[in-house]
C-alpha cells in the first residue's frame, strides 16, 4: 500500500480512524523502558493468550485497507455465551509508549473509558478481562489512591496528570507505538501534507518563528531563526539532524518520545526539511536506547513502505530520507558540532565556532539541528497555528516543556507542563510532595544546570520554570531533568557527583575543561573527605570563572554551574565541611562519627552483631561503645538500633 496523494492520505486517515473507533475497547499496555523492565511485555503476552483462549476477538494491528472491511467475527474458542455476547466486536491490544506515571508501573490503560490500572501483575490479567473488558467493571484494587485514600479510576483525573498539558507527548501512551496506521488514524502526517501543499518554505519558517518555539535541548535558541538561516544558504545539499543523544543523569524525556511516538519525530523532521530545502535526515540516538532505536527504525521502514518517506512524497515532488546513527554514549556528543562529527565517523569532539552548524554542519553542509522534543512540537504548530501555541506560557517562552521528575519525590515520572509553571506546582501538585523529608533543592538541567532551592537567602519554590526566569537565578532548563532532593541531601556531595560526571565525560580537547574539571573534582573530593580548607573554596570559585570563560564548547562553559549554584545558596554547608569538619546532612562518611547514647542504649547487643569490623563492644544489658579507630562508618549499627541510641 502506497499513499500517492493528499487525497489518498485523507482517505487512509478516515479508514483507519473508523477501524480504530470500531474496536469495542482498547487495552494499552505501557511498553516504555521502565514498564518493560517491570514486566509489562509479559502482561501483554498473557492478555493476548487469555483473549485467544476465551474466543474474544483481539486486534493487535489495525486492519489494512486492502482487507476491505473490519473483522468483527468472534475468533474460534470455547467462550461462554456471556463472553461471546459481550465481545462481538474486536478488542484492541496495544503496546503503547510511556504513560509517564513511572512510580506506579507497570501501567495499563483501557479506552474509551480512560481507565488507568497501576502496578499491574501478570496474575491480574484474568480479572482485568473478566471485569473490565467483558463486564465494564472497575478493578478497584488496581486503581490509584492518594494519601487520603481517594480513588481515581480515570487517568486524566489523577492529580499527577490533571495539571499537565501534553503537546509533544500528545500521543505517547494513547496509541500503538509501533503502528503507522494508528498514527495516521489520529491525524498523523496531516502537518506534512499542509506544509507540502498549502505553505511555502518561508511561510513554514514564519509560522515557527511566530510561535516562539525555542530549542528544547537546553539552549533555548529560537527554532524559526535557525531554520531561516539554513533556508538562506545556497547549497544544493542540506541536512536535518535530530539530536536524541540524551546523556544527562536522570533525564529520559527524549527517549520516551522516540519510543512512544516515533512518527511524530519523523513528521517534525520532514517539515524542517521542507522548510529549509533539505532532503536528508539523520537521527542520532544513544546505543544505550535499544528500544528507541528499534521503534525509530520500524517507523522509518513503515513510512518508506507507504510512501511518506523516500521519493516524491504524496506526489509533491519532494524527496526526504532518514537514517539512524547510533552514538557510543559520550555526553559531549550532545553538543552540535561533536554530534555531527560522530555521525561522519570521526571522534566526537567540538570544534571552534564560527562557522556554525547552520552554515557548515553535517558533512560541511548547512544543517538544521534540533533535539527530539523540539521536532515533536512542530506538527501541532503547523496544524493549529502559532496563535494557538502562544496561548501557553509567558512571553518569549511559549508552549510546554517535558521534564523527567526523579529523586526524593513521591511521584517520579515523565511530565509535560506549560512553560512558566512554578516549581511548587511540579513538585507538590504533580509530584505528590517530597519523599523522606522536607524540600531542600532540585537540580535542573543536569551537569550543565544549576540548583533551585530553599536556603538561608533564597526560596525558589514559586519560581516560574521557563528559559528566562531560570537564567536570572543562574540555572537553565537543559534537557529537562529535575532531580528533587530532601533535607537529608548534602549539597557539597551533589556538586562533587556532577563534577565527577562532567570530568569523566570531558572529551579532553580543550585544557580548561580537561584539566579544570579534574582540579575542581579533586578540590571537592578533599572537602567531602575532610581535607578541605577555606582556600579550597576560593580556588573552586576561581576555577569556575576560568572554565566558564575559556572552555571551547557549551558543555565546558557550563561544567561548573552545579558548583557555582550550590556554593551560592549553600555556602554554609561548604564552610561546615572545611571549618567544622562536619557534614550537616550526615552523608559524607569521612566527616561522620557514630556514637552511642548511654541513656538510650539498653545493651541488647544488636549493634555489635551487625558491625562488620567488630568496632562495638559492651556487656549484655549494659551501654555499649564504639571504637572510632576501627569504625568504617557504614551506618549498619545506626540503621539497626531498635532504640535509636546511635547518632
Q: What is the pLDDT of residues 603-644, one digit of tens each?
A: 999 999 999 999 999 999 999 999 988 988 888 999 999 999
Closest CA to 331 of 499, 215, 548: 499
SS (H, E, C) 233-289: CCCCCCEEEEEECCCCCCCCHHHHHHHHCHHHHHHHHHHHHHHHCCCEEEEEEECCC
Long-range contacts of residues 611-620, Cβ cutoff 8 Å, at least 24 apart: 611/636, 611/637, 612/636
240's CB contacts (< 8 A; 6+ apart) are: 269, 272, 273, 276, 278, 280, 281, 282, 367, 368
What distance separates the 2 farthest-apart alpha carbons in the chain? 89
Q: What are phi and psi of 298, to 5 degrees?
A: -60, -45
Instruction: With residue 26 as reference, give the H or E element that holds it.
Output: strand 25-30
The whole-angstrom separation of Cα 630 and Cα 635 is: 13
Place of cell 531498635: 642
Instruction: With residue 107 as reference, give the H or E element that holds it.
Output: none
487's CB contacts (< 8 A; 6+ apart) are: 437, 438, 439, 440, 585
Please report which confidence band the pLDDT of residue 80 belongs to, taking 50, 70 and 90 as the band edges.
very low
The DSSP code sequence of 209-240 is HHHT-B-TTTT--BHHHHHHHHHH---S--EE
SS (H, E, C) 281-348: EEEEEECCCHHHHHHHHHHHHHHHHHCCCECCHHHCCCCEEEEEEEECCCHHHHCHHHHHHHHCCCCC
Distances in Å between the Cα of 632 and the Cα atoms of 407, 532, 593 are: 27, 20, 10
Q: Please say if the pLDDT value at position 75 is more than 60.
A: no
157's CB contacts (< 8 A; 6+ apart) are: none
- DSSP-assigned beta bridge partners for residue 154: 115
Neighbours of 375 (CB within 10 A): 30
Strands 280-286 vs 321-327: parallel, antiparallel or unpaired = parallel
- Interval 533-537 mean pLDDT: 97
Please report which confidence band the pLDDT of residue 474 belongs to, taking 50, 70 and 90 as the band edges.
confident
Q: Please say if the pLDDT value at position 86 is more than 90.
A: no
Distances in Å between the Cα of 192 and the Cα atoms of 171, 212, 269, 275, 408 are: 17, 20, 10, 11, 42
Q: Is 464 helix (H, G, I), strand (E, B) or coil?
A: strand
Are 58 and 90 contacting, i.e. CB atoms less than 8 angstroms apart?
yes
Report the mean per-residue pLDDT for the chain: 92
- Interval 400-412 mean pLDDT: 95
The whole-angstrom separation of Cα 136 and Cα 293 is: 37
626 grid coordinates: 564504639
> Half-sphere exposure of 77 toward its Cβ, with a 13 Å CA cutoff?
19
- DSSP-assigned beta bridge partners for residue 552: none
Q: What is the pLDDT of residues 240-289, one digit of tens each?
A: 999 999 888 888 999 999 999 999 999 999 999 999 999 999 999 999 99
Q: What is the pLDDT of residues 538-553, one digit of tens each?
A: 999 999 999 999 999 9
Q: What is the pLDDT of residues 194-226, one digit of tens each?
A: 999 999 999 999 999 999 999 998 779 999 999
Q: What are phi and psi of 132, to 5 degrees?
A: -95, -25
The DSSP code sequence of 588-635 is -GGG----B-TTT-----HHHHH-TT--EE--TTS--EE-TTT-----
- Interval 463-487 mean pLDDT: 90
Q: What are phi and psi of 459, to 5 degrees?
A: -140, 105
In the DSSP assignment, the letter for residue 140 is G
Q: Please say if the pLDDT value at position 72 is more than 80.
A: no
Q: Helix 561-569 vs helix 534-550: angle between axes, to the nearest 10 degrees? A: 140
Please report which confidence band the pLDDT of residue 63 belongs to, taking 50, 70 and 90 as the band edges.
low
Q: Please say if the pLDDT value at position 83 is more than 50.
A: no
CA angle (243, 244, 247) in 5-degree steps: 110
Q: Per-residue b/e over 119-145, b at no fewer than 16 CB within 10 Å? A: ebeeebbeebbeebbbeeebbeebbbe
Amino acid at each position: 500500500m502506497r499513499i500517492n496523494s493528499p487525497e489518498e492520505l485523507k482517505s487512509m486517515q478516515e479508514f483507519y480512524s473508523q477501524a480504530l473507533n470500531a474496536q469495542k475497547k482498547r487495552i494499552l499496555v505501557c511498553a516504555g523502558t521502565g514498564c518493560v523492565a517491570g514486566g509489562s511485555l509479559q502482561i501483554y503476552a498473557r492478555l493476548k493468550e487469555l483473549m485467544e483462549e476465551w474466543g474474544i476477538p483481539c486486534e493487535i494491528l489495525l486492519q489494512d485497507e486492502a482487507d476491505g472491511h473490519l473483522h468483527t467475527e468472534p475468533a474460534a474458542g470455547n467462550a461462554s455465551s456471556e463472553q461471546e455476547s459481550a465481545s462481538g466486536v474486536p478488542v484492541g491490544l496495544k503496546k503503547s509508549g510511556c504513560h509517564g506515571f513511572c512510580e506506579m508501573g507497570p501501567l495499563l490503560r483501557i479506552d474509551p473509558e480512560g481507565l488507568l490500572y497501576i502496578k499491574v501483575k501478570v496474575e491480574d490479567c484474568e480479572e482485568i478481562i473478566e471485569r473490565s473488558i467483558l463486564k465494564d467493571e472497575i478493578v478497584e484494587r488496581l486503581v490509584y489512591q492518594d494519601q487520603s485514600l481517594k480513588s481515581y479510576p480515570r487517568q486524566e483525573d489523577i492529580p499527577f496528570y490533571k495539571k499537565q498539558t501534553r503537546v509533544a507527548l500528545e500521543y505517547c501512551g494513547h496509541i500503538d507505538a509501533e503502528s503507522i496506521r494508528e498514527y495516521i488514524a489520529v491525524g498523523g502526517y496531516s502537518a506534512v501534507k499542509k506544509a507540502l501543499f498549502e505553505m511555502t518554505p518561508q511561510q513554514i519558517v514564519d509560522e515557527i518563528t511566530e510561535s516562539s518555539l525555542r530549542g528544547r535541548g537546553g539552549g533555548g535558541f529560537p527554532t524559526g531563526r535557525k531554520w531561516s538561516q539554513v533556508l538562506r544558504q545556497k547549497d544544493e545539499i542540506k541536512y536535518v539532524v535530530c539530536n536524541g543523544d540524551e546523556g544527562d543523569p536522570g533525564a529520559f524525556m527524549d527517549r520516551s518520545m522516540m519510543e512512544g511516538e516515533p512518527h511524530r519525530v519523523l513528521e517534525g523532521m520532514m517539515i524542517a526539511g521542507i522548510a529549509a530545502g533539505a532532503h536528508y535526515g539523520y537521527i542520532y540516538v544513544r546505543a544505550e536506547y535499544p528500544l528507541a532505536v528499534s521503534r525509530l527504525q520500524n517507523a522509518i521502514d513503515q513510512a518508506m513502505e507507504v510512501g511518506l518517506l523516500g521519493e516524491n512524497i504524496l506526489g509533491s515532488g519532494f524527496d526526504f530520507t532518514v537514517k539512524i546513527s547510533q552514538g557510543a554514549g559520550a555526553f559531549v556528543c550532545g553538543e552540535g558540532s561533536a554530534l555531527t562529527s560522530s555521525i561522519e565517523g570521526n571522534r566526537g569532539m567540538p570544534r571552534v565556532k564560527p562557522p556554525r552548524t547552520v552554515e557548515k554542519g553535517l558533512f560541511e553542509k548547512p544543517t538544521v539541528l534540533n533535539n527530539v522534543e523540539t521536532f515533536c512540537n512542530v506538527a501541532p504548530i503547523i496544524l493549529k497555528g502559532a496563535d494557538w501555541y502562544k496561548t501557553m506560557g509567558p512571553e518569549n517562552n511559549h508552549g510546554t516543556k517535558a521534564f523527567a521528575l526523579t529523586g526524593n519525590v513521591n511521584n517520579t515520572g515523565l511530565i509535560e507542563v506549560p512553560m512558566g509553571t512554578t516549581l511548587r506546582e511540579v513538585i507538590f501538585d504533580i509530584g505528590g510532595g517530597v519523599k523522606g523529608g522536607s524540600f531542600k533543592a532540585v537540580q535542573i538541567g543536569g551537569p550543565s544546570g544549576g540548583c533551585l532551592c530553599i536556603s538561608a537567602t533564597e526560596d525558589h519554590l514559586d519560581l516560574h520554570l521557563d528559559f528566562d526566569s531560570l537564567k536570572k537565578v543562574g540555572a537553565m532548563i537543559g534537557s529537562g531533568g529535575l532531580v528533587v532532593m530532601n533535607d537529608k541531601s548534602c549539597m557539597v556531595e551533589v556538586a562533587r557527583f556532577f563534577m565527577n560526571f562532567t570530568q569523566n565525560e570531558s572529551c579532553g580537547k580543550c585544557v580548561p575543561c580537561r584539566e579544570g574539571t579534574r582540579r575542581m573534582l579533586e578540590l571537592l573530593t578533599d572537602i567531602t573527605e575532610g581535607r578541605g580548607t577555606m582556600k579550597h573554596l576560593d580556588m573552586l570559585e576561581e576555577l569556575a570563572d576560568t572554565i566558564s570563560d575559556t572552555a571551547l564548547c557549551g558543555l565546558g562553559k557550563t561544567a561548573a554551574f552545579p558548583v557555582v549554584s550550590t556554593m551560592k545558596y549553600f555556602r554554609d554547608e561548604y564552610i561546615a565541611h572545611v571549618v567544622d569538619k562536619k557534614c550537616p546532612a550526615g552523608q559524607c562518611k569521612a566527616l561522620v562519627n557514630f556514637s552511642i547514647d548511654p541513656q538510650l542504649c539498653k545493651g541488647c547487643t544488636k549493634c555489635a552483631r551487625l558491625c562488620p569490623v567488630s568496632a562495638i563492644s559492651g556487656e549484655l544489658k549494659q551501654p555499649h561503645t564504639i571504637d572510632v579507630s576501627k569504625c568504617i562508618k557504614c551506618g549498619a549499627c545506626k540503621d539497626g538500633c531498635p532504640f535509636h541510641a546511635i547518632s
